[in-house]
Amino acid sequence: MIATIWWRGSVWTLDHLFWVDLALGPAVACLLAGLATGRPAALVRLLDSRPIRKLGLSSYSLYLTHAPIVIIVYEKLVAGRVAQGVPAFLAALAVVLPVTIVVARVFAAIFEPPFRWRPSWAAVRDAAARASRTAWTWGRVVAPAAIFAVLVWRLGTSPFVHGLRAVDGRALAAASGLAVLTTVCCAWRWRIVARGLGVELPLGTAVAAYYRSLFLNVTLPGGVVGDVHRGISHGRDTSDVGRGLRAVAWERSANSGGR
């Protein structure tokens, strides 16, 4: 049946949806019966894996929320911009799949607990906190993908292609090497200042935090948000936010003085 759907396409499938459902129903029932007996073993192991089990916790919410997401993505992003058939299906799937998983996880964390048990207000607050953490974790992955999809939708692919063609490989490699060297040296300077103030700072942690602060400085207004975040994060890790902020302030002053 799946081979027939692939061969005849989505239009034929929708036109014969009743008969397709009628054929798939017994097949799915047989599959579930086989899984209940532990066969096929490879599929049972796959379904028992941690990612699939976590997905199962929000499967009902996924069922409830996926339809409007599919319609919006297809109508606003795919239809008229991607060739019909398999290309349109793959393009829609690439956007819909991560978005629906994130929405379902957040929806399940907020709305499903009251129907599973009768929680206290503390449990509801904990569920909301977990939902916020889940949204932030997945949002960091989905948001860049969504932004890129909107840019491609509004501008097309030609600006990206022209930009890639204009890049000189040797110049890019040289610039990347200089940027890495400069960032490592700045992180090393920060580490020296921090140790002078009596707080430890591993070089690897300093480099990672410095890269993050540079990104925040150039993308957020003010140009210092990344440095503030760097100081507070280091202060929390060492249980002394004041010294963490002072270390960043002294390091930034040394940077300005060096210029």
pLDDT tens digits, one per residue of 163-182: 777 777 788 888 889 999 99
- Please report which helix (H) or strand (E) contains residue 38, including its range: none
CB environment 107-124: b (16+ within 10 A), e (fewer): bbbbeebeeeeeeeeeee
Structure tokens at 184: 């490592």
Look at residue 184 and tell me whether its pLDDT is greater than 90. yes
Alpha carbons 75 and 117: distance in angstroms, whole number? 38
Look at residue 78 and tell me whether its pLDDT is greater than 60. yes
**What is the reported pLDDT for 181?**
93
Look at residue 66 and tell me whether its pLDDT is greater than 70. yes
pTM: 0.43
**What is the reported pLDDT for 36?**
76
Q: Residue 254: what residue type? A: A
Assign 41 to helix, strand or coil: helix
Q: Where are the domains of the chain?
A: 1-48, 58-166, 169-254
**What is the reported pLDDT for 259?**
46
**What is the reported pLDDT for 256?**
61
Look at residue 41 and tell me whether its pLDDT is greater than 70. yes
Structure tokens at 197: 């103030």
Give residues with Cβ within 8 angstroms of 156, minimum separation 6. Answer: none
Alpha carbons 112 and 124: distance in angstroms, whole number? 10
Single out the residue of 104, 106, 92 nearest to residue 65, CA to CA: 104
Mean pLDDT of 185-189: 92
pLDDT tens digits, one per residue of 88-114: 778 888 888 888 988 888 888 877 766
Look at residue 251 and tell me whether its pLDDT is greater than 70. yes
Higher pLDDT, residue 236 or 134: 236
**Mean pLDDT over the full length of the chain:** 80
Helices (H) and strands (E) in the chain, counts: 13, 0
Look at residue 86 and tell me whether its pLDDT is greater than 80. no
pLDDT tens digits, one per residue of 190-244: 999 998 888 888 989 999 999 989 888 887 767 788 888 888 888 888 888 888 8
Alpha carbons 21 and 13: distance in angstroms, whole number? 10
Say which range, 64-68, 134-138, 254-258, has the weakest mean pLDDT: 254-258
Q: What proportion of the chain, given as a percentage, has pLDDT over 70?
A: 90
Look at residue 118 and tell me whether its pLDDT is greater than 60. no
